[in-house]
């Protein structure tokens, strides 16, 4: 799978979260990662509005965008310990010694100054928004997602558009538990994930659900987006439950395919099949 140039950072328009009065800017980093800038949409009285950064692993590129937007970094949120998500934390701690660098209490995350666990709420952007912490162990044992109520979830490498992260430090049961958490969140919530893996995920999904028309249409749209070097992120949770096979392990189509009515077993077999795809 060849990714595109991942180069049009300056042209990407913000995704608006109107209930929270927030804007989210996607910053493509490395080959296929995304970092995110969260900032109030309505400019505050301060000359440089605050910006919370999610997975700021390539600080130079992210900070260029922060500067271009005229913002001031207020905190860094880290989803998990892998270098392509947490690798910029030490630089950020040195460059911004007064800001909190937030990450999981359940694993060693480089540069973290404020450790969080499931159920914690963190105030970001100078108190403009409260973000809920959801533990999602599996990809790594201490992976966390960040949820802005009724608006957005930053899923890191737990979930992608059309897929989920490899089970490096967890089990099918844990990933299925993570899916159950998503069922408790409104379907219109936007999901901002850690990588641009969508096309490959959809190619795989069509091998297990070849007759899923929603999936077929979404793949066509995604290929058009990528042909223009545009992101396929965010999706919504409602969309994910309609085409992401890892969200659909309790659906008859998937259970018939894998000859079991146990969604955890479907999850296990599905992940094994994807790992060898």
User: Any idea which residues carry the catalytic annotation?
Assistant: 80, 82, 84-85, 139, 157, 195
Cβ-based neighbour number of residue 9 at 10 Å: 17
- Asked whether 208 and 176 are in contact (CB, 8 A), the reply is no
Report the C-alpha gap between 147 and 192 in whole angstroms. 10
Cβ-based neighbour number of residue 210 at 10 Å: 11
Report the C-alpha gap between 194 and 204 in whole angstroms. 19
Please list, in sequence order, all residues whose beta carbon lies within 8 angstroms of the beta carbon of residue 47, skipping any fewer than 6 positions away.
Answer: none
């Amino acid at each position: 799978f060849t990714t595109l140039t991942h180069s049009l950072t300056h042209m990407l328009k913000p995704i608006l979260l109107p209930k929270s009065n927030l804007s989210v800017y996607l910053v493509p980093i490395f080959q296929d990662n995304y970092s995110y800038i969260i900032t109030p949409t309505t400019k505050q009285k301060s000359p440089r509005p605050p910006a919370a950064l999610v997975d700021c692993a390539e600080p130079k590129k992210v900070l260029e965008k922060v500067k271009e937007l005229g913002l001031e970094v207020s905190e860094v949120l880290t989803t998990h310990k892998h270098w392509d998500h947490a690798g910029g934390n030490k630089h950020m701690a040195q460059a911004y010694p007064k800001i909190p660098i937030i990450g999981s209490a359940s694993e060693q995350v480089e540069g973290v100054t404020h450790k969080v666990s499931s159920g914690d709420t963190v105030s970001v952007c100078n108190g403009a928004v409260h973000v809920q912490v959801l533990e999602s162990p599996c990809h790594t044992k201490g992976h966390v997602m960040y949820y802005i109520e009724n608006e957005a979830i930053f899923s890191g490498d737990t979930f992608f558009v059309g897929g989920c992260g490899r089970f490096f430090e967890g089990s099918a049961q844990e990933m299925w538990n993570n899916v159950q958490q998503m069922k408790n969140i409104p379907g219109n919530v936007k999901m901002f994930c850690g990588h641009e893996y969508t096309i490959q995920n959809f190619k795989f999904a069509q091998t297990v659900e070849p007759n899923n028309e929603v999936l077929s249409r979404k793949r066509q749209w995604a290929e058009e987006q990528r042909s223009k070097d545009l992101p396929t992120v965010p999706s919504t949770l409602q969309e994910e439950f309609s085409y992401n096979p890892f969200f659909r392990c309790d659906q008859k189509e998937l259970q018939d395919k894998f000859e079991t009515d146990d969604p955890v077993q479907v999850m296990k077999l599905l992940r094994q099949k994807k790992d060898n795809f």
